[in-house]
Amino acid sequence: METKKWGKAILSGIVTVFAVMLVLSLIFSLLLKFTGITERSIQWMILALSFINLFIGGFIAGGKGKEKGWLLGGLTALSFTLIILLFQFLGLGSALNPMQLLFHAGFMGMAMLGGMIGVNMASD
């Protein structure tokens, strides 16, 4: 597989992840603002949706790449993790803590699974 095709596939997955994240963030911020829901009451829902979001990103990357979906999904999740790490470290002055590393390992697993399924669902 050519590098250019891999780059486009991974970029498609990352763009999808951040687009979905942006929409979900808007929805949850509106819910928090205009209802009695607290952050604590929806933290598990947000985590579950994050896993689903990375699965979708891996699925898109695998579907666009059409081969080695596990690798494309993993690279999509790794790219996501690096972007989050850079934002957190450079913007907020803190590194990822051990709990966040566990979450990102789970994200990688979900994105790899999504990539494998995406490759098999892709049509030529």
Which of 53, 52, 59 lies closest to 18, judged by CA? 53
Note the pLDDT tens digit of each residue in 96-116. 889 999 999 999 999 999 999
**Number of domains the chain contains:** 1
Q: C-alpha 59: how far from its chain's center?
A: 10
Whole domain around residue 104: which residue ranges?
3-121
**Residue 62, CB half-sphere, CA atoms under 13 Å: how many?**
26
Note the pLDDT tens digit of each residue in 6-31. 999 999 999 999 999 999 999 999 99
Cα 67–Cα 71–Cα 76 angle in degrees, nearest 5: 110
Residues 93, 53: Cα–Cα separation, whole Å: 26
